[in-house]
Amino acid sequence: MIYATITCEINDDIALVTLNRPEVMNALNTQMRAEITHAVRESGKIARVVVLTGAGRAFCSGQDLGGGANPANIDLERTLKDEYMPMLAAIATCLVPTIAAVNGPAAGAGANLALAAAVVIGADSAYFFAGIYSHWPDT
């Protein structure tokens, strides 16, 4: 299969799935979620391990809220059920071990993506952010 938002290469029984939207820090959109799901499922049938990583300076910045889409119009229940759950399940139940090679920020859904893998390895630049940050004044 030809992918538009990821790359998938299999060398020496190692499948390398790279999130490839560095211009948006590999933010997840509908197409990317479908491509990750497909690549992990198919690679798990061929390779001995599947490695997930991100192109550029981020692993995955989470849900793509750009592109002119209004976040208020997202059908969150459908998106979670039909897109996120199959993607995360494909990683968590892959026929072979999965490794998240986190090369930068893994935020929101990106943190969940990494944590679905059997093993998470973080570069010095890796960090995880899942939740709402609030700065409290010192007073």
- Residue 123 is encoded by which pair of tokens? 């570069």
Does residue 10 contact residue 96 with C-beta atoms inside 8 Å?
Answer: no
For 35-64, what is the mean pLDDT? 97
26 pLDDT higher than 90: yes
Q: Where are the domains of the chain?
A: 6-129
Give pLDDT, residue 138: 52
User: Given a cut of 70, is residue 97 above it in pLDDT?
Assistant: yes
Structure tokens, 24: 């948006």
Entry pTM: 0.89
Q: Give the Cα separation of 3 and 6 in Å (integer).
A: 6
Within 8 A by CB and 6+ apart from 78, the residues are none
Per-residue confidence at 76, pLDDT binned at 50, 70, 90?
confident
pLDDT tens figures, 102-127: 999 999 999 999 999 999 999 999 99
Of 53, 52, 61, 54, nearest in space to 105 by CA:
61
Whether the Cβ atoms of residue 67 and residue 61 lie closer than 8 Å to each other: no
pLDDT of residue 67: 65
Looking at domain 6-129, its CATH class is alpha beta
